Homo-oligomer: A and B are copies of this chain.
Amino acid sequence: VSKANAIQGTTEQVIARVNARLASFLSAQRAQADALTPRAGELVAALADLTMRGGKRLRSVAIYAGYRAVCPHEAVSGADGDADPTTDVAAAVELLQTYLLIQDDWMDDDEERRGGPSVHAALSRQYADPKLGASLAILAADLAMGFAFELLHAAKFPPHRAAEGRAAFAAMHFEVVCGQQLDLLDHPDVTLTHHLKTGSYTVRGPLKLGALLGDASPEQLLALERIGRPLGIAFQLRDDLLGTFGDTRATGKPAGHDLREGKNTALVAEARAMLGGEARDRLERVLGQRDASPAQLQEVTYSLESSGARARVEAQLTAQLEEAEQALSAAPLVPGGAALLRELLGRIALRDR
C-alpha cells in the first residue's frame, strides 16, 4: 500500500509540474500576443483554455515513467522538482494534443470537448460564422503546434541525444497525422489506424521521449517499444469500449457518440464480421446517423453486446495488456521506473473516461 501511495504521489507531482509549466508558458505567450494585438491574445486564450481544462496528463506521466525506467538514480521519489528534465517535453506533448484535438473536433463536427465547447464551436458562435470560426480554430491549432515545438526546443535532452529526441517528436507527429488521415478515410485496417493515430503519441512516443531524456541504451529503447506498442493499442481499444459502453458523465461524450459519428471502431469492425442479415443492416443504417434516436442507438448497442463483438474487443484488450505486461517483466529497466510503468498499465486497463 505504501508503495502504491508513493507511486500515486509521484504521479501527482509530475502532473502538478506539467500544469505549472503549461500555465506559465501560456500566460507568457498570451502577454506576448496581447502586445502584438489583443486579437492575437484571444487566439492564445482559446487554446490555453482547452489545454488547461483538461486531461488526465497520461502522456506526461508516460514520459516521466519512460525517463525513470532508464535513469539509474533514486526513483519513485517524485521529488525531482526543478531537476525533472521531463517537464518541458511533457508540456510540448500536451500542446501537441491540444493542436490535434482542435483539428479533430472540427473534422468530426464535435461541439464538445473536455466538458466545454470545442474551439471551433466556441469561435463559430462568437463570430456567428461557421467558416470563420473553423478558420480561426485552425489558426489556434497552428499556434499550439508552434508552441509545442518551442517547448521541445527548450527540452533538456542530454546533448548527444538532442537530435534523436527532436527526431522522435517529429516522427510521432508524422505518424499521428497519417493515422488521422486513415481514420477520416475509414481505412479497413483498424489496428494500423489505432497504432498510428493514438498509439504513436499516447504511449510509444512519450515512452521514447522519456527514455531519450534519460539517455537510454539501445536495449532499453527496444524494450520500451515492445511495451508501448501493445499498450497504445490497448489504450485505443479501451477508448472504443468507453465510446459506446462508457458512462457518459465520466467520458464527457454524449451517449452513442461513436456510433453517431460513424467511427470505424474495433467494436464496429468485429460486429461487421459477426452480424448477419437484419442486425447487420440495422448497424449500417444507424452508423454515422447524427440524428439516430436513443431507441435506435440502444438497439445497435445491444447488438454489439449480444453478437459477442464487445467480448471479443475486451479479449483483444486483455491480450494487448498481457503482451505489454510480459514485455515489461522481461525488460532491462530500473525497478522504480518499471513500477511506474506497471501503474501506467493499470491506469490504461481500468480507466473509465
Contact = CB atoms under 8 A, between A and B. Distances in A.
Interface of A: 29, 32-33, 36-37, 39-40, 43, 103, 106-107, 131-132, 135-136, 138-139, 142-143, 145-146, 149-150, 153, 163, 166-167, 170, 173-175, 177-178, 180-182, 184-185, 187, 189, 192, 196
A37 B146 contact: no
Contact of A170 (B103, B132, B153): B153
A139 B182 contact: no
A interface: dominant SS:
helix
Given A39-B181, A142-B173, A146-B173, 9 more contacts: A36-B175, A37-B187, A39-B182, A39-B185, A103-B142, A107-B138, A132-B184, A136-B184, A142-B145
B107 A135 contact: yes
Copies of this chain in its oligomeric complex: 2
Contact of A149 (B40, B136, B149, B192): B149
A153 B178 contact: no
B135 A184 contact: yes
B39 A103 contact: no
21 contacts: A29-B174, A33-B174, A33-B178, A36-B175, A37-B178, A37-B189, A37-B192, A39-B187, A40-B182, A43-B177, A43-B181, A107-B135, A135-B184, A136-B181, A136-B184, A139-B184, A143-B177, A146-B170, A149-B166, A150-B167, A153-B163
A142 B185 CA distance: 17
A108 to B, nearest CB: 9
Given A170-B149, A184-B132, A36 B142 contact: no
A189 B36 CA distance: 12
Nearest to A40: B178
Contacts of A175: 36
A153 B180 CA distance: 24
Contacts of A150: 167, 170
Nearest to A109: B131
Contacts of A43: 177-178, 181
Contacts of A29: 174
By CB atoms of chain B within 10 A, which of A132, A150, A153, A189 has the most? A153
A82 B45 CA distance: 44
Contacts of A132: 184
Contacts of A192: 36-37
A214 to B, nearest CB: 21
Given A103-B142, A170-B153, A174-B146, A40 B163 contact: no
